[in-house]
Amino acid sequence: MIANTTYARLKEKLSEVVPDAELRYKAELADEILRLKEERNAVILAHNYMEPALFYSVPDFVGDSLELSRKAADCEQDVIVFCGVRFMAETAKILSPQKTVLLPAKKAGCSLAASITAEDVRQLKAQFPGVPVVTYVNTYADVKAECDICCTSSNAAAVVESLGTDTVIFLPDEYLAKNTAKETGKHIIFPTRRMPNQVDGSVDYQLIGWHGRCEVHEQFTVEDIENARRQFPDVLVLAHPECSPEVVEASDFSGSTTAMVKYVKEHKAERYLILTECAMGDNIAAENPDKEMLRMCSIRCPHMNEITLEDTRDALLYDRYVIEVPEDIRERAYRSVKRMIEISAKD
């Protein structure tokens, strides 16, 4: 009975996006997960990049990194199943240490989170004493513990501006740093370990960056946009701020994953090029059947794609994979994440 209901709901939403046989199979899996979720008193938080059948069936909340952090801080259930990548599940644990946080895939990494270590941050702080450190939420807990405040793609400029300083260390995404520098009017420098132990006094405003990149968004090019515009002159182009500044500049809009979802919903154009993980294009297409989403599905996030309905069921069945953050690191990381949430709440 429930299977029919879930199947019917998925069919209505996704018949143009997912083959029928897959929908039937996934609706059954989804029902099993919904039952287990009740039994375990669990909440499922899912990032906008989750594949359509998962995205539209089992989560209690979907959203971008900031929205999911807020939910992780507020939810009342005993267990949080995080359908996203490890740094997101870690952030949930940092905010809700008393809860069991489960990540359905053992690894589900992120090229940005892997690009920097806590020791790298300590060295930068020694190189630029007194300069506040902002780290993108796409980092692991020990890196967050070394910083003053975190940011996400939806609040990076606001976080930088909230510090009220001429100079900010902004880690680890080179492109987000460059896009944020442009938005805030700050210059950017990329230090090496050989740099003198001083900030150049001739520069009034600056971000000190790092060479991390998202392995997905760095692949989109201005040529991709030009090709789409040649073929579809009316297309509106949306790029995530992890794309290069050139790609962002050539686009019509840049924002967090949820900001992109809202943009399509609120605009009347018939066609959109979505420069981010392809599954999100599917999810937006399902929500906007009268609009066409152009998406480049050869470029995928292998980490987000590790999260499946099967693994989500197994996470609840076998209590895996439990996310732990050592308490001394968690306490320090908590301050940075909490500070970000407080600043964003004022928006």
Binding site for ligand SF4 (CB under 6 A): 85, 110-112, 138, 214-216, 242, 277, 301, 303-304
Residue 44, beta-bridge partner list? 81
If contact means CB under 5 to 8 A according to the sort of partner, which of ligand SF4, ligand 13P, none does residue 179 touch?
none
For residue 321, cis peptide bond before it (omega within 30 degrees of 0): yes
- Give the nearest distance from C-beta 257 to ligand 13P in angstroms: 4
Rule CB under 6 A: choose which of 180, 206, 251, 256 binds ligand 13P: 256
Burial 243-282 (b: 16+ CB within 10 A, else e): bbbebbebbeebbbbbbbbebbeeeeeebbbbbbbbbbbb
Distance, in Å, from the CA atom of 325 to the CA atom of 91, rounded to the nearest integer, reads 9
- Under the binding rule (CB under 6 A), the answer on residue 153 touching ligand 13P is yes
Rule CB under 6 A: choose which of 7, 51, 55, 65 binds ligand 13P: 65
Rg of the chain over CA atoms, in angstroms? 20
If contact means CB under 5 to 8 A according to the sort of partner, which of ligand 13P, ligand SF4, none does residue 256 touch?
ligand 13P
- Give the nearest distance from C-beta 59 to ligand 13P in angstroms: 14
Residue 82, beta-bridge partner list? 45
Number of residues that bind ligand 13P (CB under 6 A): 11
- Give the nearest distance from C-beta 83 to ligand SF4 in angstroms: 12
If contact means CB under 5 to 8 A according to the sort of partner, which of ligand 13P, ligand SF4, none does residue 152 touch?
ligand 13P
Residue closer to ligand SF4 by CB (options 85, 225) is: 85
Rule CB under 6 A: choose which of 91, 96, 257, 283 binds ligand 13P: 257
Residue closer to ligand 13P by CB (options 70, 125) is: 70
Place of tokens 């003198």: 196
- Give the nearest distance from C-beta 64 to ligand 13P in angstroms: 3
If contact means CB under 5 to 8 A according to the sort of partner, which of ligand SF4, ligand 13P, none does residue 111 touch?
ligand SF4
Tell me the backbone φ, ψ of residue 143, rounded to 5 degrees. Answer: -75, -45
Q: Which helix (H) or strand (E) holds 294?
A: strand 292-295
How far lies 97's CA from each of 28, 92, 253, 326, in Å? Answer: 32, 8, 37, 10
Distance, in Å, from the CA atom of 322 to the CA atom of 327, rounded to the nearest integer, reads 15
Residues that bind ligand 13P (CB under 6 A): 48, 64-65, 138, 152-153, 214, 240, 242, 256-257
